[in-house]
Amino acid sequence: MVEYRCKYCGEKFEKPLDLARHVRKNHKRSKRRSKRLVEKPVLPSMSKGLEAVGVLKGLQAAPNLTAEEKKLLGDVAKTFEAILKE
């Protein structure tokens, strides 16, 4: 009978499906989880500010706004950006 070995830890399995489950459960997901934890240097308040600027710029592109409303949204977006840069 054919044996399938895990390339990460060397554990043996009878079926390739069992090997695939083992690799996903013990090796791949833990790697992804650790990467996610490392890639979060942005402060939560700063990310919310960046999200707010994005929303404002998206609203500026709305076709049903007047020129005055678009200008006002642009001014608010610039103010947010200035605050975030400080």
pLDDT of residue 21: 92
The reply to whether 67 and 81 lie within a common domain is yes
Q: Which domain holds residue 30?
A: 4-38
pLDDT of residue 75: 87
Tell me which amino acid residue 57 is. Answer: K
CA gap 6, 36 in Å, rounded: 24
What domain count does the chain have?
2
The reply to whether 51 and 34 lie within a common domain is no
What letter would DSSP give residue 9?
A: T
CA gap 80, 63 in Å, rounded: 23
pLDDT of residue 78: 84
User: What tokens appear for 32 in the block?
Assistant: 């992804």
Write out the chain's pLDDT in tens, 86 residues: 789 999 989 999 999 999 999 988 888 876 666 666 666 555 666 677 778 778 877 777 778 888 888 888 888 888 878 877 76
The reply to whether 51 and 80 lie within a common domain is yes
Q: Where are the beta strands (DSSP E) in the chain?
A: 4-5, 12-13
The reply to whether 49 and 34 lie within a common domain is no
pTM across the whole model: 0.41
CA gap 42, 26 in Å, rounded: 29
